[in-house]
């Protein structure tokens, strides 16, 4: 079985833990300790093929750039998370993407997905679908608008990342 590790990055409170736990444990808890960083390991079946996936749900990332460097160096795939309800959270994913490209090589097509969270909070939405699509095109990264609460498109986002990692990394 192939094994991959992925790192979930983004500003505090955007829903990184909720997203990760929805995919890895299939549950939604209203509150996670925002300071807790957790690693999950699960066998996931994507396109009929089992893969051992290790997911690092980072916490308090913004203040610890040096720590981010270590996670990015060690990570093989990245979930860049922002909240559809907080336009300011796009700044963090912009910086993180640049940091990833700097560490992995500017021209690399390192596996990444861009995930907008909290799609269910319709009335609080601040980031337009058009802008999300524009970013995805400009960055050449697939984007998913998700809700961990309602379980909308969470699986699709992680499965896309697994497919990218299978393609990008040659079989050892
Ligand atoms: P993190 O700091 O990025 O790990 O964010 P959390 O996963 O701890 O989520 C922050 C808050 O947003 C929590 O109160 C979550 O319950 C809430 N949240 C996360 N995802 C969703 C979602 O899809 N819908 C709604 N309504 N709330 C969410
Ligand atoms: Mg968290």
- The ipTM of this complex is 0.99
Cα of 30 to ligand 1 centre, how many Å?
Answer: 7
30 lines ligand 1 (CB under 6 A): yes
- Between CA 69 and CA 94 the distance in angstroms is 15
pLDDT of residue 64: 60
125 lines ligand 1 (CB under 6 A): no
Where does the pLDDT of residue 68 fall: very low under 50, low under 70, confident under 90, or very high at 90 and above? confident
pTM over 0.90: yes
pLDDT tens digit string along 102-115? 999 987 899 999 99
To test the pocket of ligand 1, the residue of 18, 30, 117 to mutate (highest count of ligand atoms within 8 Å of its CB) is: 18
Element (H, E) at 80: strand 77-83
- Between CA 129 and CA 140 the distance in angstroms is 16
36 within 8 A of 30, measured Cβ to Cβ: no
Question: Residue length, the chain?
Answer: 172
31 lines ligand 1 (CB under 6 A): yes
Alpha carbon of residue 124 to chain centroid: 21
Cα atoms in the 13 Å half-sphere on the side-chain side of 76:
18
Q: Which of 111, 113, 127 is nearest to 156 (CA)?
A: 113
Report every protein residue that has its C-beta within 5 angstroms of ion ligand 2. 16-17, 32, 59
In the β-sheet with 77-83, what is the strand arrangement from edge to edge?
38-46, 49-57, 2-10, 77-83, 112-117, 143-145
Q: Which of 23, 52, 21, 53 is nearest to 37 (CA)?
A: 21
């Amino acid at each position: 079985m192939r094994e991959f590790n992925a790192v979930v990055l983004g500003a505090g409170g955007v829903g990184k833990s909720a997203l990760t736990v929805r995919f890895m444990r299939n549950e939604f808890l209203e509150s996670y300790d925002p300071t807790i960083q957790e690693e999950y390991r699960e066998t996931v079946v994507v396109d009929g093929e089992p893969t051992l996936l290790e997911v690092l749900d980072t916490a308090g990332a913004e203040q610890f750039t040096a720590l981010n460097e270590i996670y990015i160096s060690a990570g093989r795939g990245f979930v860049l998370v922002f909240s559809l309800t907080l336009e300011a959270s796009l700044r963090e994913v912009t910086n993180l993407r640049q940091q990833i490209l700097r560490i992995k090589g500017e021209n690399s097509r390192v596996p990444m997905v861009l995930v907008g969270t909290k799609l269910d909070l319709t009335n609080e939405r601040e980031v337009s679908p058009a802008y999300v699509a524009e970013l995805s095109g400009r960055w050449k990264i697939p984007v998913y608008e998700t809700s961990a609460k309602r379980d909308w498109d969470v699986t699709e986002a992680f499965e896309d990342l697994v497919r990218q990692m299978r393609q990008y990394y040659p079989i050892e």
